[in-house]
Amino acid sequence: MKIVQAKDITQKVAQLCVEINTKLADDIDSVLKKEEDNEPYSLAKNILSVINENRALALNAKRPICQDTGMVVAFVKYGQDVVIKDGSIEQAIQEGVRQAYCQGYMRKSVVEDPLLRDKNTQDNTPAVIHYQVVPGEVLQISIMAKGFGSENTSALKMMKPSDGIEGVKQFIFDTIRKGAPNACAPIIAGVGIGGDFEEAALLAKKALFIPLDQHQQKPHLYSLEKELMQSVNKSGIGPMGMGGKTTMLGIHILDYPTHIAGLPVAVNICCYVDRRGTVVF
Amino acid sequence: MMKKISTPLSDEVIASLSCGDQVYISGIIYTARDAAHKRLIDDLKQNKDLPFDIKNQIVFYMGPCPAAPGEVIGPAGPTTSHRMDKYTPRLLSLGLRGMIGKGNRSSEVIESIKKYHSIYFACVGGTGTLCAKHIQHSEVIAYSDLGTEAIRKLEVVDFPVFVAIDAKGNNIYINGPNNFRKYLLKQDN
């Protein structure tokens, strides 16, 4: 049995929320630098250089890269042999988010009622939290601060089995082509295929956590990713949709078995500021 | 081409700017995003005056992070403009001349930009810290209850933007990718 103090969870979540907003993961950092060097179109190269200049300033000042410091999404792997002392895991995570956004001078972007929109919660809570119970003494919390310029361009479609790989490819490409200019391209795409309605969406979000230099093991999904990378980056959309080669930095596809009648496909789009990180207890 | 301009915008300045130009703006600009736009239009419906004179002014679609100690304003980059499209033609008809945001606009907005000889600038999305460096003064002047979405009067110096849609309706979200594809074809030949 493993004992974890609720206050330690709060402290580590708070620290992680601030860190991911000020510094991008190494894999994204190196791709952005590489793409600035490789971009042949001068306006696009100029935009990528502004992007990289801003990231350096943010890192240096320990301040958010983007003023949209996101809505926090957490994926928790919660071992059956872990006991949380002096509080609940849910409250501990929400408190961590609250402290990070209030004490870290980050924007509070959450409205209490999605339709009335008359009250900001003032502390960026609640985070959206997904739990997975696993065997053993594991406690792992992966956090994303998800910006909504890109979230708004995401889409889910219940496709027909007869649509096949070609249909799925077309839907993913169309969603990206339509969304990328508004989603602060160069974007990163997470795709979920299979399961049911909500599982496809969850897979798409989980895919945004995969490092850009890590690749799919399934050959047919790996070639689908490669093909989509090529076709999106040949579309000419470019950084900020103003033309150029660098439209997408990476795409990851996750899949899950599905019903004989169905083919759910979800595309979750993220701007280049894919703020993600994990703490392990 | 790189150009420096000051606010408020004159006909001559607007006419001198073309789609794709890199522009540094200095002077006063005003922030307004989703909630503030809704309230501006609601005010107009109730025959109330707008909280600031928008004639020849620029509105920046932005909601900043709070200022940390020693800062004028927190990170302050652009938000996606198309959510404001529903409200924009009315504001342009009342004399608003410029907008700063990111992403393409609706055909109604583009028609209004041409009709009222105005201009739409795009700022590089996600560059909040860089944008904040060009803001020398910030003051909430209306709708303070909206928090980050309140209307702010900003004094900016060399604020970096690109002309996305000029007064003739030339649109970088169409021209930019087309130009790049032409460039690719040339490389292939």
- Residue type (1 letter), B160: P
Amino acid at A208: L
- Chain A hits for B184, CB-CB cut-off 8 Å, are 234, 236
Strands, DSSP E only, in chain A?
A: 2-5, 71-79, 82-85, 128-134, 139-146, 155-159, 187-195, 248-258, 263-270, 275-280
Specify the pLDDT at position B105. 98
What pLDDT does B184 receive? 85
Residue among B104, B133, B184 whose CB faces A241 most closely: B104
pLDDT in tens, A191-235: 999 999 999 999 999 999 999 999 999 999 999 999 999 999 999
Asked if the Cβ–Cβ distance from B65 to A54 is below 8 Å, we say no
Buried b (16+ CB within 10 A) or exposed e, B68-90: beebebbbbbbbbbbbbbebbbe
Asked whether the beta carbons of residue A50 and residue B130 sit closer than 8 angstroms, the reply is yes
Whether the upstream peptide bond of residue B8 has omega within 30° of 0, thus cis, is: yes
CA distance A3 to A10: 15
Distance from CA of B129 to the nearest CA of A (A): 6
Residue pLDDT, tens place only, B146-170: 999 999 999 999 999 999 999 999 9
Smallest Cα distance from B64 to chain A, Å: 6
> How much is the pLDDT for B175?
96
Note the pLDDT of residue B187: 81
**Distance (Å, rounded) from C-alpha B56 to C-alpha B82?**
21
Extended beta strands in A31-183, E state: 71-79, 82-85, 128-134, 139-146, 155-159
Contact by Cβ (8 Å): A92, A13: yes
The answer on pLDDT for B1 being more than 80 is no
Check if the interface score ipTM surpasses 0.85.
Answer: yes
Of A41, A54, A272, the CB nearest to B180: A41
Q: How many CB pairs under 8 A join A and B?
A: 156
Cis bond upstream, residue A114 (ω within 30): no
Q: Which of A41, A44, A107 sits opposite B65 (nearest CB)?
A: A107
3-state helix, strand, coil in chain B (%, to 5): 35, 30, 40
The shortest C-alpha distance from A137 to chain B (Å) reads 38
Residues 6 or more apart whose Cβ sits within 8 Å of residue B144 = B150
Residue B189, pLDDT > 90, answer no
Token pair recorded at residue A169: 């490819």
Contacts of A238 in chain B (CB under 8 A): 176-177, 180
- How many C-beta atoms lie closer than 10 Å to residue A141's C-beta? 23
pLDDT tens per residue, range B61-94: 999 999 999 999 999 999 999 999 999 999 999 9
Contact A182 B122 (CB under 8 A): no
Question: What percent of chain A has a predicted confidence (pLDDT) above 90?
Answer: 100
Choose the closest CB to A184 out of B75, B82, B126. B126
Phi and psi of B155, rounded to 5°?
Answer: -105, 115
- CA A139/CA A153 separation, integer angstroms: 32
Distance separating the N- and C-terminal Cα atoms of chain B: 28
- Show which residues of B are catalytic: 37
**Res B188 pLDDT > 80:** no
Calculate how close chain A gets to B176, using CA atoms only, in Å: 4
Say if CB A187 and CB A269 are below 8 A apart. Answer: yes
Q: Which residues of A touch B185 (CB under 8 A)?
A: none
